[in-house]
Chains A and B, each alone.
Chain A
């Protein structure tokens, strides 16, 4: 299946921890990658693979996978983490697809 599901929105108090999940059958065979998008900006890769951060991404961002569910966790959320977060995966044909996105609000 080429469908990924995400919770539409989550909120977190400043400095607290929040987890975003992404579910889909493809995640049993292929890694998820995670993208942060702020209004008016291009997406930014924040996590990929088992739990890898590109250079410049703070270590408060972490990833995990369990069965068909991938998770992004922000430990000690900051105001600048408020954004839309998208997961992405692929199928065996090489086509990719994105989840619908999760809006993270930092209170």
Chain B
């Protein structure tokens, strides 16, 4: 079925940087687009960023455009989210998700357990 395991969450000061990782197993990682989704405390889900299977296409939410960068390592089967110029409003649990998956009508069919990022002075 597949598994995703995020890591890298931490407490960081405003203006700081952080890199999140998402290790994939149990499915052909290199064949699938991947996505980051976040959830601020007590709030709903917010789509953050997308990367195509090849890594050649990336998209970002307006709220993180220019500050966050998504990438993937096909050999390590790992997805990354490089976050810089962090703000208090970036505080959230960050989930990685497999997809959007064409064969599942653009759904996200596997999710990690999440990693917590806190931005505070």
Contact = CB atoms under 8 A, between A and B. Distances in A.
Contacts of A42: 95, 111-114
A53 to B, nearest CB: 11
Contacts of A35: 45, 108
Interface in A34-63: 35, 37, 42-45, 48-50, 52, 54-55
A100 B44 contact: yes
B25 interface: no
Interface stretch (B69-77, B78-86, B99-107): B99-107
Given A44-B111, A45-B107, A88-B108, A94 B45 contact: no
A22 B113 CA distance: 25
B45 A101 contact: yes
B47 interface: yes
Given A93-B59, A94-B50, A52 B105 contact: yes
Contact of B109 (A54, A96, A97): A54
20 contacts: A35-B45, A42-B95, A42-B113, A43-B37, A43-B97, A43-B108, A43-B111, A45-B108, A48-B104, A52-B104, A84-B44, A86-B44, A86-B45, A88-B108, A93-B59, A95-B47, A96-B100, A97-B47, A98-B47, A101-B45
